[in-house]
Structure 1
Amino acid sequence: MGKKSRNERETPIKETFEPLPLESKAPATVVLLLNSPEEDILIKACEAIQTFAEKGDENKVSLLGLGALAPLCQLITHNNKLVRRNAFMALGIMATNGDVRTALKKLDAIPSIIEKLSLEGGIPPLLQLLNSEFPVIQHLALKTLQHVTTDRDANKTFRDKQGFEKLMGILNNVNFSDLHAEALHVLANCLSDSESVQLIHKSGGLTKLMEFVLTPSVPEIRSGVIKCITRVAQSSESCKVLHEQDVETVLVELLSLENIGVMTSACQAVAALTFHLNSKERFRELGCISVLVQLLSRESLALREAATQVTKDFDLLIQQLYQSCPKIVANSAATLCNMAEHEIIRCSILSHGAIQALLEPLKSTVTQVLVNTARCLAVLASDEEARTELVRVGGLQLLVNLLQSHSKEVLHIACLAVNVCASDEPTAVEMCKFGALEILQEINQSKTRRNSFSELAVNSLLNSNLSFKYSLTSSLASTDIITCGFYDAGKARPGQRMLTLEELSKQPVNQRQAIIFVNKATVLPEYESNIRVWFDSLKGEI
């Protein structure tokens, strides 16, 4: 044979191999094939991974370890429709495992997956999958719908494609009870749209939700129902329907359950409903605030935050202090007292005029009203702003009057409140003007009326009013620092009410009694520490 020319040697071979059957029992090999440029191989590789993953969590975790997620996430954007479908199916099966879901989040793949679903091409197939005979497919479809329906446009498409009818069909079917929690999550997303709320109301969906709340069920389902109610409550029209079905009573009962998730959801629903006057009034009648205050001491941060969100509406409680019903007043004062234990809440209560509102209950003749009111005042008075307000509105006279109560319980709490209020000089001086010191001295001399707080109250009054202390005891402690305004009016006589400097200044000049007044403008700071010694030596000569 002759020698081949150069052109003959470089002519490309036009023939190709026949398609090779792909068979592999090694998962690692199949994962590698996900990077193949051949569409047929990709289709079969995705199918193989799906079949392998369906056999259990161990296989899903194995595929995760072999690096199957990254290429599968890439294949959902492939040009070939069958490749995309199989890749989605494989991802969906694998995502039923917690470790795989965590890995998907780290890869930030979920937003990318949702983006691949167009509203017109994505939602109808998902709704169709709800009819699948395989529970895993139904669960995956609902989970995907949870993400999709967070978008407003998707909500409209979901509504137009009879999505609500599909969901209500699931919720009305006891055989699909395992799907109820996920269906309720989808429903809650859709109820943020007013048109959707109207649609579900007309179809009897709100009535069905109330049935779910009233029916004992797993906590997750109850939480899902309450979340739906919270969304519905955003609409005034829908809130009226809920009120007519006495949803407030149900929610207050749920606040007493021991499941943190249910109680937290119930708090959020109450917060939404209190924006509507009828529901707000109904919660007041049910004593809802008292129940919520108890939740503030729970360990769960989420629960405490949810309860605080509701109890920040103090106007309702404070207005109840003006009621004529003693029980309502007593309960409101007790609730405010419990809430005021928290500093942040206490400041908010004061800003809503609580001190002024407590004045009328301080005049009550009902023991429990007086006890709860005085206790509330004692807690609020730990704040300087509250003491200043109490002086301004004339509340100290009413408090001092309680020291003469024949009820031991009232007297005990009144002494406690005086002890707290006496923590600064202006308030202490004002109470002494009303005879608080003399009344307390009398109480402390009685074997039957004396109590631990009456003794503390006297000490607090004297420590905040050094002029009275010196006049009564003829001495001051090393920790008692006198300031401008201190005066010595002489030794106090037993049973005689000590007068303030203002009162003394209005009396006629008495040459028999010298009153020594300290004016800081004429006393050098370095001599202040010696003034007490000078008074002691001068005392016997006055």
Structure 2
Amino acid sequence: MAKKGKKEAESYGKDSFDPLLIESKNAATVVLMLQSPELDVILKACEAIYRYAEKGDENKAILAELGALEPISRLIKHEDKPVRRSAVMVLGVISAQNDVKKYLKKMNVIPSVIELLEPEEDVVIHEFASLCLSFLSSEPSVKVQIINEDGLEPLIGLLSSADPDVKKNSLETIYNLVQDFYSRAVICELNGIAPLLELLKSDYPVIQQLTLKTLATITSDAETRMALRELEGLDYLIEMLGANDLSDLHVDALLVISNCLEDEDTMQLIQQTGALDKLMQFARTATLVDVQRKAVNAILRAAQNSKNKKILHDHGVEKILVGLLGPDNADIRETACLAITVMCENESSKVSFGKWGKPLVQLLQNDYGEVKEAAALALSSLTTANMNNSIAVYKARGIEPLVQLLANEREGVVAHVAAVLTNMSSQNILRSNIQAKGVMTALVGPLQSASSLVQSKAALAVSAFACDSEAREEFRIAGGLVALVWLLNSNINEVRRNACWAVFVCASDEPTCLEMFRLGALEILQEINLSTCRKNNFSEAALQKLFEGNLSIKYSLYGGLSSSDIIVDGFYDPGRVKPGKKVLPLEDLCLVSRTSLLFLLSDLVESVSGDEKLVDGSEWTTGRSQRCHSLKTKGKGKEDEDEDDDRKTWLPPFDADFYNLVNEVTKLISPLENTRDRVVELAKFVAETMGGGVERRKLHNLYWELHLSELKYELKSNVIPIGKIKKGFFCHRALLFKALADRVGINCSLARGEYNRSWNVVTLTEEHPKVLLVPYVVDLMHNPGCLMKVKSPEAVRYQTI
């Protein structure tokens, strides 16, 4: 037996190597050991690498550089469970390092890690495999890969694991995944809401908080909110708010509740269960500032739905929100103001808030810019289409701080304040008070803002307040027209539209209208209206309004005046102006000696001085100019009169002859009742005044050019009052006919043709009461008083050479 044993010992020594204890302090050597075919060596190497990697990120990076990742990623699929477990432990720890993440992504290790989440694997493998995924899933490409590899389902399954670390790691991975919208829908499809709600009962606060954050993310999806409601998860969340020992979870719980309250079904549910009253009470009495702010935010989110607004109103939310404006906390005040803004979309709530408008006005002077902006926004909503609330703001002494805030550095504050003032301007008494505080001057700055929102609101405010001459004058003196005209060039539709509307309103004032002409408003509006994408109804209205303020420019540019264009004081005809050229004002044209002008001044003058004379070769001193000047200087001393002389507005010469023509034609036309007779008599009067009828073949004998030259020499001015013209051509007679027709109430248009041809078109309404009206061209030249149908051969012949 002994020999036999000796032979067995000798045989063992020949076939096998005695066990060898290997120790190494070199990481590279240990990494090489991962390639060993012996399980014991691999296990010891994995254990050593695990301990080494746990010491810090630097060691993890070193292991990656030494090539440890490739054998480790291979070993996690090893058929031996201890080896597999040791390898995945290393992988879970080492994947926390950023460089390691990049290597692992290139190695496509995700499918192998997901396989380790299967139920048959042990808890340790689940723990470190989920840990690895929690680190890697922060990368967008990895999220997509996990979803595509069906990794979400086993992760949801691990939420029910008995091991808290497995739950936490799986939950972190799910949280990362649901940042992508598609993953949120998949959670609901895989029935992941129930295990998430179960985790709220965990003994570990970190798991509870992470669960609430995950729920807050996925409940942005309507289907998820529905699933949460069906599982009575909302009830549990409300209960959490009432638990003082869970105060650290209240903020996150309120985030989930805020999402859920967007649904009217959820709102009705918590109303029926009494949970809504608890939530509102919580918003009013919560001791932690952040929690109270989240509770108010939950009300804000709920108010986004129109039906929810009614429910909140029925529960008296207005009083709660106004009460929250008092606490000395900027975040709570800001959120409360935003909630008030949204609730004002409900008319009943808007009326209720009007009773407590004073706190909002007081917040306009708050030290925090965010609070000012939110308060101004709330006041904007409060005063929209509500006269009583606008008056309440006025009574709360809100006008002065509102006007002052137009100079605030925050763009949002300025925009919302401009909107509030615009809303209040609908009341005459309020508008007057706001104007008295210098609002027109204050609006000049906002018009020059870099913010398109501020520009838009400021332009709209200008249109609201520039409705009287004093306001327009203040705005003009302050330089506001420069900024307003500049806004017409804006590429922002809303800014351009509101600027056009403001120009339309300001053009009601002649000095303002002329100033906008000088600033190039006319050219800009013409360019806008030629563009199919930039023009709008407001730009067209603004252009027409500018023309109404100066029909001379309209006639010069477009060669025509409609029957609704009434020639008034100061009309002049500088002739046709080429496209792209500016029409100079009469004052400037008077200095251009080479230009012949036809000038017409109003006949509405009580008396004319008998000693008309030229002053400096261009201005005539008349009874009208003397009277205007005397009104300016009445009650002033000599020094004041001297200053007025320096600043005296240029006045064009008065056309006394035209004044006499108006009186004569009025006496002639007034007794006539038939429109045709009135037109014929007026045509004959005009022709007789300007040289009588002229045969077509004898037009060259009229010598009208010589006559005009003689008048220029006589007057020592290139401005020729139309009343002095005794030999008039087509253009002169048509202009005089239009001017006189406008004064005696005959609807008449004026059109300019080529080669000094102009003509008038009238419509005789009583002749065709039941058919389409037929317009007529009036003959003022060859057969005065003859009416020719438009486009008839004789009319075309009259209009052309």
Which of 119, 124, 130 pairs up with 2:194? 124
Does residue 333 of the first structure (1) align with residue 399 of the second (2)? Answer: yes
Which of 248, 268, 289 pairs up with 1:198? 268
Q: Give distance in 1, aligned partners of 2:87 and 2:200.
A: 23
Structure 1, residues 254-286: CA drift from partner, whole Å, max 9, x if none? Answer: 445565544443333222211112222232222
Aligned to 1:290: 361
Does residue 209 of the first structure (1) align with residue 271 of the second (2)? Answer: no
Q: 1:184 to 1:259 in 2, by over 3 A?
A: same
Does residue 37 of the first structure (1) align with residue 107 of the second (2)? Answer: no
Which of 424, 429, 447 pairs up with 1:360? 429
Which of 308, 313, 318 pairs up with 2:381? 313
Q: Are the counterparts in 2 of residues 75 and 84 from structure 1 also a CA contact under 8 Å?
A: no
Does residue 374 of the first structure (1) align with residue 436 of the second (2)? Answer: yes
Aligned to 1:81: 118
Query: Alignment partner of 1:331: what SS?
Result: coil
Which residue identity is paired with 1:37?
A: K
Does residue 508 of the first structure (1) align with residue 607 of the second (2)? Answer: yes
Q: Are the counterparts in 2 of residues 192 and 231 from structure 1 also a CA contact under 8 Å?
A: yes
Q: Are the counterparts in 1 of residues 309 and 343 from structure 2 also a CA contact under 8 Å?
A: yes
Q: 1:390 to 1:263 in 2, by over 3 A?
A: closer
Q: Give distance in 1, aligned partners of 2:142 and 2:130.
A: 15
Structure 1, residues 364-392: CA drift from partner, whole Å, max 9, x if none? Answer: xxxxxx5x551154456647886776665
Q: 1:112 to 1:147 in 2, by over 3 A?
A: closer
Cα displacement (A) at 1:69: 8.1
Aligned to 1:234: 304
Q: Give distance in 2, aligned partners of 1:423 and 1:80.
A: 72
Which residue identity is paired with 1:128?
A: E
Which of 148, 167, 184 pairs up with 2:254? 184
Aligned to 1:175: 245
Cα displacement (A) at 1:252: 3.5
Structure 1, residues 306-340: CA drift from partner, whole Å, max 9, x if none? Answer: 556545437448724875x7x84463534653565
Cα displacement (A) at 1:163: 1.0
Q: Give distance in 2, aligned partners of 1:418 and 1:304.
A: 30
Q: Give distance in 1, aligned partners of 2:463 and 2:601.
A: 19
Aligned to 1:269: 339
Aligned to 1:484: 586
Q: Give distance in 1, aligned partners of 2:124 and 2:377.
A: 47
Q: Give distance in 1, aligned partners of 2:38 and 2:430.
A: 98
**Bigger Cα Rg:** 2
Q: Give distance in 1, aligned partners of 2:401 and 2:122.
A: 60
Q: Are the counterparts in 1 of residues 49 and 90 from structure 2 also a CA contact under 8 Å?
A: no
Structure 2 residue ranges without an equivalent (≥5): 1-36, 54-62, 145-175, 448-458, 483-505, 513-583, 591-599, 613-620, 623-649, 654-707, 709-716, 718-801
| TM-score normalised by length of structure 1 | 0.57
Q: 1:299 to 1:353 in 2, by over 3 A?
A: closer
Aligned to 1:497: none
Query: Alignment partner of 1:510: what SS?
Result: coil
Does residue 146 of the first structure (1) align with residue 216 of the second (2)? Answer: yes
| TM-score normalised by length of structure 2 | 0.41
Q: Give distance in 2, aligned partners of 1:386 and 1:156.
A: 45
Cα displacement (A) at 1:214: 1.7
Query: Alignment partner of 1:337: what SS?
Result: helix
Structure 1, residues 23-55: CA drift from partner, whole Å, max 9, x if none? Answer: 6253348976455224746973598479x87xx
Count of residue pairs brought into register by the alignment: 403
Report 1 or 2 for greater relative contact order, CA contacts < 8 Å, sequence distance ≥ 6.
1
Which stretch of structure 1 is more off in the superposition, 100-109 or 153-162?
100-109
Structure 1, residues 79-110: CA drift from partner, whole Å, max 9, x if none? Answer: 752369978865877899xxx69944685563
Query: Alignment partner of 1:131: what SS?
Result: coil
Structure 1, residues 144-168: CA drift from partner, whole Å, max 9, x if none? Answer: 2222222222222111112112212
Q: Are the counterparts in 1 of residues 338 and 374 from structure 2 also a CA contact under 8 Å?
A: yes
Q: 1:164 to 1:336 in 2, by over 3 A?
A: same
Q: Give distance in 2, aligned partners of 1:132 and 1:164.
A: 17
Structure 1 residue ranges without an equivalent (≥5): 1-15, 54-59, 364-369, 401-414, 432-481, 489-500, 523-530, 532-542
Percent identity between the aligned chains? 20
Q: Are the counterparts in 1 of residues 435 and 465 from structure 2 also a CA contact under 8 Å?
A: no
Q: Give distance in 2, aligned partners of 1:104 and 1:259.
A: 38
Which of 230, 234, 239 pairs up with 1:164? 234
Q: Give distance in 1, aligned partners of 2:361 and 2:49.
A: 64
Does residue 111 of the first structure (1) align with residue 177 of the second (2)? Answer: yes
